[in-house]
Amino acid sequence: MTDLSMSPHDTSLMFPAFMYGDRTTCRRKMKAEAKKWAKCYAEGRPFPEPKLIPVPPGSIMFIDETTAHWVASGFSFTGPNMVTINKDAGQDGLRLQWRPYLLHDLEFEIEWHPILKLSKEQCFAFRRRFIPFVCQYAWGAISAATLGCLHNSFELAIPRIEAVLRFWEPLDTLKYADVRARPVSLAEFMKENFEDIVVMWVDQPTGNIRLDLPIAIKRMQTASADKIHERLLERLHEHVEVQTGLAHRDWLKSDGVIESGLETYMKTYPDYYRDMAAGNTGEFASFLVTLERLYGPRANQTDPATPAIH
């Protein structure tokens, strides 16, 4: 039984077989999977459904490869109120080899596979098919939630969030291990990955990420282009105050500097603009740092209205 035939309230879960096991085996299976997906995409056929296997409730999902590597090398999460991860591959150890972060690697392998070798623009088109497909599944929902920059635009962030909300109950039976000192709950994981969107679009957050995200989605979906631009300018000006490492903070706060830079950014780099408009503070930082580097007081430039950000 696959996730497509499961209700969102089923307690059982099915994850791709290529996400389970030791790193070498998983990467070999993932690359084989990528070849199948690339061929289907090149031929205009639907993506293939990967082989799925059950996940026991309580299993720990590795959200990034660094943490998985630490654990494989013998590192354990220990301390008060922390879960200890046993590096032993037997018994409980087998349950700790789930690797949903491999969805990012699968996407990369498909985009750069010799069958396709997609350009940056073609990658955006590919992702517009890839994300809705994987988000039909509980495994795809949580795996897609681990994806970062250029997946947080309105178009790609909303289906990823909606998919996690749809499969919340079964996904909440699992724990998620990333670079922090302990495996975390689904709510903690989602707050870490999508709090920027809540800050951007929810005026009075409840503090409950499961309640706040639907509010953010609704406001994102109904916002006019002018409202999006207004909110983005407001957040960028706020970010100037808190971002570390800025050399010309006062210049960035000057009238018209951010406004003129953002106008050009919107026209020249629409995909990155849409990523910022969803509240991506990583893109905020990139925009501000590059703006001051290229057009700040020491940049020997006289026209701040035409920054080449990327």
Measured between alpha carbons, how far is 24 from 69 in angstroms, rounded to an integer? Answer: 11
When pLDDT is averaged across residues 124-141 and rounded to a whole number, the result is 92
Per-residue model confidence (pLDDT) at position 173: 92
Measured between alpha carbons, how far is 58 from 15 in angstroms, rounded to an integer? Answer: 14
Window from 41-45, 128-132, 292-296, 305-309 with minimum mean pLDDT = 305-309
Residue 31 confidence (pLDDT) above 60: yes
Do the domain assignments include residue 303? no
If one compares 145 and 96, the residue with the highest pLDDT of the two is 145
Helix/strand/coil percent split, the chain, to 5: 55, 5, 35
Same domain, 117 and 238: no
Same domain, 58 and 203: yes
Same domain, 129 and 209: yes
Per-residue model confidence (pLDDT) at position 30: 95
Question: Considering the chain, what is the average pLDDT of its residues?
Answer: 82
Same domain, 284 and 252: yes
Per-residue model confidence (pLDDT) at position 299: 58
Window from 72-76, 127-131, 185-189, 241-245 with minimum mean pLDDT = 72-76
Residue 269 confidence (pLDDT) above 90: no
SS3 49: coil
Same domain, 199 and 256: no
Window from 74-83, 107-116, 258-267 with minimum mean pLDDT = 74-83
Neighbours of 74 (CB within 10 A): 9
Q: What one-character DSSP code corresponds to residue 59?
A: P
Phi, psi dihedral angles at 304 (to 5 degrees): -75, 0
SS3 278: coil
Measured between alpha carbons, how far is 308 from 291 in angstroms, rounded to an integer? Answer: 8
Per-residue model confidence (pLDDT) at position 82: 40
State how far Cα 210 lies from the chain centre: 17
Ranges 41-45, 61-65, 284-288, most confident: 41-45
Measured between alpha carbons, how far is 135 from 139 in angstroms, rounded to an integer? Answer: 8
Neighbours of 305 (CB within 10 A): 12
When pLDDT is averaged across residues 277-293 and rounded to a whole number, the result is 87
Per-residue model confidence (pLDDT) at position 46: 94
- Residue 282: domain span: 224-295
Number of domains in the chain: 2
Choose the final residue of a domain: 162, 197, 220: 220
Measured between alpha carbons, how far is 190 from 142 in angstroms, rounded to an integer? Answer: 9
Whole-Å CA distances, 227 to 15, 44, 200, 231, 234: 39, 37, 12, 6, 11
Same domain, 85 and 183: yes
The enclosing H or E element of 201 equals helix 186-201
Question: Which stretches does DSSP call E strand in the chain?
Answer: 13-16, 52-55, 60-62, 175-177
Measured between alpha carbons, how far is 14 from 50 in angstroms, rounded to an integer? Answer: 10
Amino acid at 277: A
SS3 86: coil
If one compares 72 and 152, the residue with the highest pLDDT of the two is 152
Do the domain assignments include residue 118? yes
Choose the final residue of a domain: 220, 249, 283: 220
Sign, Cα dihedral of 70, 100, 148, 223: negative
Measured between alpha carbons, how far is 118 from 96 in angstroms, rounded to an integer? Answer: 34
Residue 307 confidence (pLDDT) above 70: no
Window from 93-97, 132-136, 267-271 with minimum mean pLDDT = 93-97
Amino acid at 257: V
Measured between alpha carbons, how far is 304 from 297 in angstroms, rounded to an integer? Answer: 10
Residue 3 confidence (pLDDT) above 80: no
If one compares 261 and 89, the residue with the highest pLDDT of the two is 261
Window from 67-76, 164-173, 210-219, 249-258 with minimum mean pLDDT = 67-76
Same domain, 257 and 120: no
Residue 94 confidence (pLDDT) above 60: no
Same domain, 212 and 240: no
Choose the final residue of a domain: 173, 196, 220: 220
SS3 61: strand
Do the domain assignments include residue 199? yes
CB-based contacts of 196, cutoff 8 Å, min separation 6: 152, 278, 279, 280, 281
Confidence of residue 77 (pLDDT cuts 50, 70, 90): low
If one compares 36 and 152, the residue with the highest pLDDT of the two is 36
